[in-house]
Amino acid sequence: MKDYRRYSFWLESSGDDLTPRAPLDGSISVDVAILGAGFTGLWTAYHLLQRDPSLTVAVVEAEIAGFGASGRNGGWCFSGFPVSPEQLTEAYGIDSARAVQLAMYDSVDDVGKVCQEEGIDAHYQKSGSLEIARSPYQLERITEHFEAFRSIGLEDHYELLDAEQATEHMNVARSVGAFWNKEGATVQPARLARGLAHAVERHGATIYEQTRVTDFTTGPAPSLITERGNVNARVIVLAGEAYLSRLPKLRRQIMPFTSHIVLTEPLNDEQWRQIGWERREVVGGSGTTGGYLNHTADGRIAFGAYRARYPFRARITDDLDRREDVFEHARKATIDWFPMLKDVRFTHSWGGVFGIPRDRMPTMAYDRSNGIATGRGYTGEGVATSNLSGRVLADLITETDSALTTLPMTRHQSPDWEPEPLRWMGVRMVAYSRLKMNRTVERTGHAPARRTIAQRFFDY
Ligand SMILES: Cc1cc2nc3c(=O)[nH]c(=O)nc-3n(C[C@H](O)[C@H](O)[C@H](O)COP(=O)(O)OP(=O)(O)OC[C@H]3O[C@@H](n4cnc5c(N)ncnc54)[C@H](O)[C@@H]3O)c2cc1C
């Protein structure tokens, strides 16, 4: 039996018994069958049962609830959406761009509300997110970011901070300013995933763990096919994010990328006095030492490195979780941000996979004609976005008339990724371009005169 505690500090400290629930034992029929007990699958189950408590819902999970990215992420439950307001406006118009952002604000709040209503102690605290600029180029970027929100009339949710104001939030070496997004919360993600799993069970869903879906059929009576029987349903929901690339029918729909986090020991009062960061905002920054940070409820710093790697042919294995070179980079980056922690001890390190669709636009769609619903493609910004998926899919499946069902993600289909080895080569090219660009920025303070491949791909 696997020791699931070792997959992240969050799972280890989730306060829950990680012994797997019973697997599926023979074929069954339900109204809705959901592949995956991560945030997307669990939020979909939760909101479906809120809309219609009479539904029979089965969640089928290969490992345990919260095993995937949901139990391992940086705990940024914030309104960031993988596609920028400018790109959304260009593709779908200003009203849709605004509607997506407003729905994301609601998602951050919905996570907090459900935690409270269901008694889930996920250490949720809504203090916003801070993007720290540590070079003139990064300052330009956060200013552009602010202007993008102003262009859709939502600037009240954000604030640009100068160096002094940024330092009032927290003392980061070489900070020259910050972008404060008020619509963000910190969470202990595994507590949220495990708590949600218990909540959906209380509301009537059944979760089958240790049951891998190997294929699915479509049509008026679709089913999830597993090694332990089939789950026949009216609707099946594919909520496996990066892992969906393992299913032959979806292999080119989503690309898995790794991300890694290191964790310090609990800091002492003097260290916290020097750093500040009293409000526990989630914090990030770009550049070669960029990352996504969390101030945990027990007084540690989690530092997630922006060193995403794509495993050739999308092979997801446990080995991907342990990249000592990336961990070492992340430890050094932590000290680069907080030189006062030069002697700190790092106690944990882990990794996981998130999914990227070819056009970076998430899909939250239900096709009544083939019985398939899916929520996926969050490009590493899925903690709050998966809650939106759950609410959108629940409304679509139960035919609830709501503004959520007209969001652009509901009629979206991402193009396929290129076949190998083109995909691998393309990823390497973008990664190299990104590294080169970061180095130029750090040497000169500015981006190269010509827009780089990385900028074109990442809106960077
Ligand atoms: C290290 C890391 C840090 C991150 N940090 C952040 C962050 O701070 N903020 C943020 O917004 N996002 C972050 N993300 C992304 C975010 O965690 C994900 O987007 C989100 O958790 C996706 O939820 P999900 O339920 O769609 O997928 P997952 O949580 O990956 O869940 C999918 C589930 O489906 C199961 N499954 C897959 N295939 C099958 C199958 N064939 N049969 C049965 N079960 C299957 C898996 O075992 C898994 O439990 C991070 C991701 C990683 C890896």
Q: How far apart are the first and last CA of the chain?
A: 43
**How close is the Cα of 72 to the center of ligand 1, in Å?**
8
Q: How confident is the model at residue 290 (pLDDT cuts 50, 70, 90)?
A: very high
pLDDT band at 457 (very low <50, low <70, confident <90, very high): low
Alpha carbon of 269 to ligand 1 centroid (Å): 34
Counting from 1 in the atom list of ligand 1, the atom nearest the Cα of 378 is: 19
Q: Is the CB of 377 under 6 A from ligand 1?
A: no
Strand order in the sheet with 32-35: 206-208, 57-60, 32-35, 235-238, 372-376, 363-367
Number of neighbouring beta carbons within 10 Å of residue 316: 17
Tens of pLDDT along 128-140?
Answer: 999 999 999 999 9
pLDDT in tens, 349-405: 999 999 999 999 999 999 999 999 999 999 999 999 999 999 999 999 999 999 999
CA distance 46 to 197: 9
Tell me: pLDDT of 459 over 60.
no
Residue range 18-31: average pLDDT? 98
Q: Is the pLDDT of residue 442 over 80?
A: no
Q: Which atom of ligand 1 is nearest to the CA of 42?
A: 25
Q: Provide mean pLDDT across the span 84-94.
A: 96
Structure tokens at 233: 């349903």
pLDDT tens-digit map of 78-88: 999 999 999 99
* pLDDT attached to residue 460: 45
Q: How confident is the model at residue 430 (pLDDT cuts 50, 70, 90)?
A: confident
Rounded to two decimals, the pTM is 0.96
Beta strands 363-367; 76-78: pairing state: unpaired
What pLDDT does residue 444 have? 80
Task: Compute φ and ψ for 129, nearest 5 degrees.
Answer: -125, 145
Q: What is the pLDDT of residue 285?
A: 95
Name residues whose C-beta falls within 8 Å of residue 414's C-beta, 6 or more positions apart in sequence. 253, 254, 357, 358, 359, 361, 363, 377
pLDDT at 424: 85
| CA 233 – CA 220 distance, rounded (Å) | 9
Cβ atoms of 322 and 430 within 8 Å: the answer is no
At residue 422, the pLDDT reads 87
Is 38 near ligand 1, meaning CB less than 6 Å away?
yes
> Taking all residues of the chain, what is their mean pLDDT, rounded to a whole number?
95
Kindly tell me the sign of the dihedral angle through the C-alpha atoms of 215, 43, 64, 360: positive
Please state the rounded mean pLDDT for residues 152-181: 97
